[in-house]
Amino acid sequence: MKTTLITGGLGFIGSNICDALLQKKYTNRCILVDNFGGYMNPIKDNFTDFRKQRFPSLKNIIIERCDTSNYKALSSILNKYKPNYIYHTAALPLAKVSNLNNEEAKISSVDSTVNIIDAINLLKISKPKYQFDRFIYFSSSMVYGDFEKSAVTEESVKNPKDAYGIMKLAGEVVTEGLCKLHNIPYTIIRPSAVYGPKDMNRRVSQIFIESAFKKEKIYIQGKDEKLDFTYIKDLTDGSILAARNKKGINQIFNITCGKGQTLYSYVTYLKSEFPKLKFVIKKRDKTKPSRGTLSIKKAKKLLGYKPNYALKDGIKEYIKFLKKNFKY
C-alpha cells in the first residue's frame, strides 16, 4: 500500500496534489500535515475562505496537526505512517509575508526541510525494509530574481531579490545536499504564479478575478509586467509526473505554463468575460523582481510534461468555479 505525506496539506497546492493523487489512484491514502496557520485575515471584507471546497470528501485522507519545525512531532508522524512519498509544500503563502517575517520564512523553507530529510533518514536506518520513493521539494520561480528578457532554464543563474526567493533557494541547497548525503531520492519543483479554484492567499490572479465579480476597479502595476501564469491542475499534474518518473530522480524542473504573459493580457481576458470591467494602469513596483517565461523544455524532454491550460482556458475554468460556489 502506497502512502503519501503532504506538508502544508490543507493549503492551495497541497490540497490539489492530494485530490489529484487520490482521483488517479496513485496513492492509497494521503497524510496531510499542516499547522492550521492562517496568514490571511478572515475579517477583511475581501476575504473568501475556500477550505470547505478543498476537501468535499475525507475518504482516504488523514489530517495531522503539526508544525514541520517541530522535529519530534514530525518524526513521530513519519514513524507512524511510513510514507513512500513526501511532497513538501509547506511555506509562508506569499512573498510579501516572507519578506516581513524572515525568520518564519527560514523555518518553513530551510529548518523544516532539514527536519523532514533527517526524519526520513532516521526511519530508513531504524527500519531497513522501509521503502522510501521520493522527497519532492516545492521551490519557486523567485529563486531566479530578474528574468524578463529571456526564458530561464533550470541551469540559469540564481539571484533572488527578496527573502522569499532567498529562503526557497536555501531550501533547494539543503534538499540537494542532505538527500545526496543520505541517499534519499529527491525532486525539486519550481512553479510560477499559480492560480485557480480554491486559492485564498490573495495572489494577483485571485484579486483580479474577484474584483471583476464584485465590479471593482482593477489596478495593474505595470502594463508590461509579465508572469508565467500556471493553472493549478498543470502544476499538480506536472509535479506528480516528476515524482513518479525515474527520470525525475535528483532533478530540478520548472513546472509552469512555459509562457510569460503580461498582467494587462490577464485583465484583457477577464474583460471578455466581464465587458464592463474597469482598470487602471499604475507604475510597476520596482522593488519586485522583473519576471517572464520559465523554460519547460527539460520537463517536456525527460518527463513528457505538457501543460493543458492556456491562460484564457484557465481563467474560464476559474470563473466557472466561482460562479458555482460563491455569490458576489
Q: Sorting pLDDT into bands at 50, 70 and 90, what band is 49? A: low
- Which residue type is seen at 64? E
Give the model confidence (pLDDT) of 242-288 as tens digits.
999 999 999 999 999 999 999 999 999 998 889 999 988 888 777 77
Cα distance between residue 228 and residue 199, in whole Å: 17
Asked if 169 contacts 158 with a C-beta cutoff of 8 angstroms, the reply is yes
Q: Which of 10-14, 98-102, 190-194, 318-322 has the lowest mean pLDDT?
A: 98-102
Between residues 181 and 39, the one the model is more confident about = 181
pLDDT at 42: 45
Between residues 132 and 219, the one the model is more confident about = 132
Give the model confidence (pLDDT) of 92-139 as tens digits.
765 555 455 677 778 778 999 999 999 999 999 999 999 999 999 999
Give the model confidence (pLDDT) of 199-211 as tens digits.
877 788 888 988 8
Task: Tell whether the model's pLDDT for residue 310 goes beyond 90.
Answer: yes
Helices 12-23, 232-244: crossing angle, 10 deg rounding: 60
Q: Ramachandran region of residue 186, left (φ > 0), alpha (ψ -120 to 50) or beta?
A: beta
Cα distance between residue 175 and residue 306, in whole Å: 26
pLDDT at 290: 81
Cα distance between residue 5 and residue 300, in whole Å: 26
Task: Tell whether the model's pLDDT for residue 48 goes beyond 60.
Answer: no
H-state helical runs in the chain: 12-23, 51-54, 71-81, 95-100, 102-106, 112-126, 163-181, 204-213, 232-244, 263-273, 297-303, 311-325
Task: Tell whether the model's pLDDT for residue 179 goes beyond 50.
Answer: yes
Q: What value does the mean pLDDT of the chain take?
A: 89
pLDDT at 51: 61
Cα distance between residue 267 and residue 188, in whole Å: 31
Task: Tell whether the model's pLDDT for residue 81 goes beyond 70.
Answer: yes
Between residues 239 and 99, the one the model is more confident about = 239
Between residues 238 and 149, the one the model is more confident about = 238
Is CATH 3.40.50.720 the right assignment for the domain spanning 3-192+232-258+295-308?
yes
- Torsions phi, psi for 226 (to 5 deg): -110, 150
Cα distance between residue 63 and residue 271, in whole Å: 40
Confirm whether pTM is higher than 0.85. yes
Average pLDDT over residues 18-39: 89
Give whole-number Cα distances, 249 to 28, 30, 225, 309, in Å: 22, 21, 34, 26
Average pLDDT over residues 295-302: 98
pLDDT at 107: 75
Q: Integer distance in angstroms from the first to the last C-alpha of the chain?
A: 44
